[in-house]
Amino acid sequence: MLESAIPEHLRKERKCPVSTPPNYNPPFPGYCARFPKKMENLVLAIIGAQYPAGTDDNRTGISTIKNFMTDIPENVRPSSWETASVTDKRGFFNIAVFAYWPSTEIHKEWEVESGFEAWWKSSDRESEVHGWFKEVLCPSVDRFETVFSNHEHPEGAANMQEKISGEMREHAYWGSMRDRFAAAQDDKLVGESWNTRGGTHKSGNESKRVRVPGKKNLTIIRSGQDWSDTLPEERKLYLETMHPVLISGMNFLRDSGQDVGCYSMNLWDVVDSKTHEASLERTFGLGYFDDLTSLEYWSKSHQTHINIFGGFLMYAKKLDNVLSLRLFHEIYVLEQSQQSLEIFGLQ
Ligand code: HEM
């Protein structure tokens, strides 16, 4: 019996119809996270440092951030966190901690009790040789959705689940992402188109700091790939047929994304949290779109994603749906008040 992606307590009368085909049976299994009923929102904080190419020490900054995740009372620790890095299109090396909390209150307590807030606000930060960035995404649960291919390995926000769903109905057809959003039952979640985006402004007396204003229904995707457990045949299949296409899809969005409503896209490597080596065979695309429709449009019309989507169907069929490749994505459609981005010293 297939389960609905939207849990019962978030269901309401639909004004926006679903796209699920009649008598639909997904071609491969997909799962979502069931959060506790009392959970109203969640937080993903992305806190990182940016270095010019060739900087000798590009580790000290991120080590400090990691200490704020671990050397603190247990009740305010993030539910999970990991470190990832990417060299951006201008050659700057970025490394960040991605950390999750099960409510905005606990995240706030963490900021204060860990000493992070005082440290972040200190003017000492502005005289460091590298830049800093901090993004805090805090969607209400109806503005968040996640889907994953392997129910034994929840990733990201799904680590805060009370349980994993059974096999889910709303997946593997175009439009299923929208059908999984509780908020999309009666709201088209229209964003602000690329051309009307506002500028950035400096905040108060911290003249070097820039706070990027929030945007209505800003849509963010974190789409992950983990091939660390694949055996040689499947690994070859992934690395030869999907990974290169993924890279060209991500490069298109990174370099020409404005043509399709994408503000920013990078393919990050999840790195070893101690050595910072990118040896884990896990990547994720992190992208920012002006509207959920823009993300839908790219995913169903760009040849790279059409190829990896179609390739994945064949891949799953060939392996009888017994896959060691793990895919997940999580998507945020945020109110302006649910996003905060602060940067300084970035190039
Ligand atoms: C959906 C394959 C990477 C964006 C899907 C689905 C598959 C797939 C099979 C259907 C999932 C489901 O509903 O069960 C892949 C593969 C990837 C990959 C094999 C990499 C190897 C990405 C990346 C992005 C992306 C990096 C964007 C950053 C999307 C979106 C959907 C989707 C937006 C939902 C479409 C909708 O429901 O309307 N992808 N994908 N994918 N993928 Fe990917």
Ligand 1 centre to CA of 333 (Å) is: 16
User: Which atom number of ligand 1 is nearest to the Cα of residue 174?
Assistant: 38
Give the C-alpha separation, 345 to 49, whole Å.
9
Distance 126 CA to ligand 1 centre (A): 39
206-236 burial: b if 16+ Cβ within 10 Å, else e: eeebbbbebbebbbbbbbbbbbeebeeebbe
Q: Does 171 contact ligand 1 (Cβ within 6 A)?
A: yes
Q: Report the mean per-residue pLDDT for the chain.
A: 92
Helices (H), 141-203: 176-179
Residue 207 has pLDDT above 70, yes or no: no
Q: Does 285 contact ligand 1 (Cβ within 6 A)?
A: yes
Q: Is the Cβ–Cβ distance between 46 and 135 less than 8 Å? A: yes
Atom of ligand 1 nearest to the CA of 170: 13
Q: In whole angstroms, what is the distance from residue 320 CA to residue 311 CA? A: 14
As for the ipTM of the complex, it is 0.94
Q: In this predicted model, what pLDDT tens digit does every residue of 22-69 receive, in sequence order?
A: 999 999 999 999 999 999 999 999 999 999 888 877 788 899 999 999
> CA-to-CA distance for 218 and 311, rounded, in angstroms?
29
- The listed range with the strongest mean pLDDT (205-219, 258-272, 302-316) is 258-272
* DSSP conformation letters of 275-320: T--S-S-EEEEEEEES-HHHHHHHHHHSHHHHHHHHHHHHHHHHTT
What letter represents residue 279's amino acid?
Answer: S
Please list the active-site residues.
Answer: 329
Residue with CA at minimum distance from ligand 1 atom 28: 285
AA identity, residue 160: M
- Which whole number is the average pLDDT over 236-257? 93
CA 86 to ligand 1 center in whole angstroms: 21
What ligand 1 atom has the least distance to the C-alpha of 311? 19
Read off the tokens for 182. Answer: 């509780």
**Residue with CA closest to ligand 1 atom 31:** 299
Answer whether 174 contacts ligand 1 (Cβ < 6 A). yes
203: CA distance to ligand 1 center in Å? Answer: 37
Give residue 347's pLDDT: 63
Q: Is the CB of 308 under 6 A from ligand 1?
A: yes
How would DSSP label each residue in 242-257? IHHHHHHHHHHHHHHG
Model pLDDT, residue 205: 38
Report which protein residue has its CA nearest ligand 1's atom 8.
309
Instruction: Say yes or no: CB of residue 223 within 6 Å of ligand 1.
Output: yes
For the domain spanning 43-139, the CATH number is 3.30.70
Number of Cβ within a 10 Å radius of residue 322 = 7
The pLDDT of residue 198 is above 70: no
Assess whether the C-beta atom of 299 lies below 6 angstroms from ligand 1: yes
pLDDT digits (tens, 9 = 90+) for 66-112: 999 999 999 999 999 999 999 999 999 999 999 999 999 999 999 99
Identify the pLDDT of residue 288. 97
Q: Is the CB of 131 under 6 A from ligand 1?
A: no
